[in-house]
């Protein structure tokens, strides 16, 4: 009998965490595990989940720490617990820590274990606020996050680093790059830099826009493509900054794109100006396309990008350093090629989604075995399952 796993996720739009979830649904060994999903009705995630022919349902996941939502928590927990019982769930996987307390309370009612993914840099205070000392296991996406958990006395045995992985088999030829330039009216010799990331303040877009002023002095027709969407207020702030810096002809906001690889294919340099970054799936996607990287040295980014080897790292909130790094790569084709090829090799050897899924499946088995030791013979008999 397969192990019933439920993924709990409270955001309906597609970003890095959601791509990871969809990858799990695609690769989970269905002879050993049976996936289920709880996610919002809004956004595109639910329709993408349904493509994998897994049970999916919407359930309220109100914010944990906003006072006006406190009254909704008992109902949310009750409904989650009923879903877990209906599906006969064996293990709950919270796809990001924001919903950990609600899922933990519901799982506790059902006497089933909980694992929680932690995908962003996390402040120590969050560990108590979001009950991260309670789940059976935590999956930080980088060693940087793991160190914070250890510093806050979370037992090392309950922490397993779970690097994300991606499909490395995407390929877009020169004809698609030419089609991109034609569609967006970009000249053949016009350099393109780009970012794929949600439009959130923590992504630091304003610092890259500031850096673009300096880059434009050397490359007047530099093109910066921003792939992603987010709160309207932040995008409006960025649009105002672009106008203030007279960069309207240089910056394109193209919104959410289902196939980001066609955009990455067109970039000469991928840049990630984040102020906080737990890991950065977009980095892996760009690296898999052999793109040189400029990124801020925050969170788990240095675990992916080796400065001077697979990309260039700069301090956060430092527009001058961003501009210097971008100009260095744009001016030096051999460096651009060397960094891109090294980046691709790292992804192929360390960050495939198959390797990521294999680790997650082993973690599930370990958690179920530990739970069996703790609660006795009435728990799931995980020892009868062997990963292939």
The per-residue pLDDT for range 299-323, each reduced to its tens digit, is 999 999 999 999 999 999 999 999 9
The per-residue pLDDT for range 82-139, each reduced to its tens digit, is 999 999 999 999 999 999 999 999 999 999 999 999 998 888 899 999 999 999 999 9
pLDDT at 385 over 50: no
pLDDT at 382 over 50: no
**Is the backbone of residue 244 left (phi > 0), alpha (psi -120 to 50) or beta?**
alpha
* Cα atoms in the Cβ-side hemisphere of radius 13 Å centred on 90: 23
Cβ-contact 296, 275 below 8 angstroms: yes
Cβ-contact 223, 252 below 8 angstroms: yes
Spatial distance between the Cα atoms of 355 and 275, rounded to a whole number of angstroms: 28
Mean pLDDT of the chain: 92
Read off the pLDDT of each residue in 359-386 and give the average, rounded to a whole number.
72
pLDDT at 217 over 70: yes
pLDDT confidence of residue 258: 82
pLDDT confidence of residue 384: 43
The per-residue pLDDT for range 9-29, each reduced to its tens digit, is 999 988 889 989 999 999 999
User: 174-348 belongs to which CATH class?
Assistant: alpha beta
**To the nearest whole percent, how much of the chain has pLDDT over 90?**
77
φ, ψ for residue 255 (rounded to 5)? Answer: 70, -170
Structure tokens belonging to residue 278: 């737990």
Cβ-contact 93, 6 below 8 angstroms: yes
φ, ψ for residue 78 (rounded to 5)? Answer: -60, -45
Pick the more confident residue, 242 or 278: 242
The full set of domain ranges for the chain reads 3-165+352-384, 174-348
pLDDT confidence of residue 373: 76
CATH topology agreement for domains 3-165+352-384 and 174-348: yes
Read off the pLDDT of each residue in 201-230 and give the average, rounded to a whole number.
96
**To the nearest whole percent, how much of the chain has pLDDT over 70?**
95
pLDDT at 297 over 90: yes
Of 47-51, 66-70, 286-290, the range with the lowest mean pLDDT is 66-70
Label residue 171 by pLDDT band (50, 70, 90).
low
Domain 3-165+352-384, CATH homologous superfamily name and number = Glycogen Phosphorylase B; (3.40.50.2000)
pLDDT at 61 over 60: yes
φ, ψ for residue 307 (rounded to 5)? Answer: -60, 125
């Amino acid at each position: 009998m397969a192990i019933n796993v439920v993924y709990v996720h409270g955001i309906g739009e597609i970003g890095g965490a959601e791509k990871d979830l969809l990858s799990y649904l695609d690769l989970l060994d269905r002879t050993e595990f049976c996936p289920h999903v709880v996610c919002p009705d809004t956004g595109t995630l639910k329709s993408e989940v349904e493509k994998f022919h897994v049970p999916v349902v919407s359930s309220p996941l109100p914010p944990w720490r906003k006072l006006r939502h406190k009254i909704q928590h008992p109902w949310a927990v009750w409904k989650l617990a009923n879903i877990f019982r209906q599906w006969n769930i064996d293990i709950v996987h919270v796809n990001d820590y924001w919903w950990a307390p609600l899922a933990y309370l519901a799982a506790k009612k059902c006497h089933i274990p909980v694992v929680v993914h932690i995908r962003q840099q996390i402040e120590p205070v969050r560990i108590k606020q979001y009950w991260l000392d309670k789940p059976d296991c935590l999956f930080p996406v980088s060693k940087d996050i793991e160190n914070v958990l250890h510093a806050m006395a979370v037992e090392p045995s309950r922490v397993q680093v779970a690097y994300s992985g991606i499909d490395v088999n995407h390929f877009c030829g020169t004809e698609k790059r030419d089609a991109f330039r034609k569609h967006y009216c970009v000249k053949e010799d016009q350099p393109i830099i780009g970012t794929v990331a949600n439009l959130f303040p923590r992504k630091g877009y304003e610092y890259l826009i500031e850096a673009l002023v300096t880059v434009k002095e050397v490359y007047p027709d530099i093109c910066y493509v921003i792939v992603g969407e987010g709160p309207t207020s932040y995008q409006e702030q960025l649009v105002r900054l672009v106008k203030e810096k007279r960069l309207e002809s240089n910056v394109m906001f193209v919104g959410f794109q289902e196939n980001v690889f066609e955009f990455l294919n067109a970039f000469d340099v991928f840049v990630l100006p984040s102020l906080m970054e737990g890991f950065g799936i977009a980095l892996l996607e760009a690296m898999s396309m052999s793109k040189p990287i400029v990124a801020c040295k925050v969170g788990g980014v240095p675990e992916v990008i080796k400065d001077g080897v697979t990309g260039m790292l700069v301090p956060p909130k430092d527009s001058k350093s961003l501009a210097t790094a971008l100009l260095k790569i744009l001016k030096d084709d051999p460096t651009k090629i060397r960094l891109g090829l090294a980046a691709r090799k790292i992804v192929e050897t360390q960050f495939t989604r198959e390797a990521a899924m294999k680790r997650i499946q082993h973690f599930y088995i370990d958690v179920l075995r530990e739970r069996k030791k703790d609660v006795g013979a009435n728990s799931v008999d995980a020892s009868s399952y062997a990963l292939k």
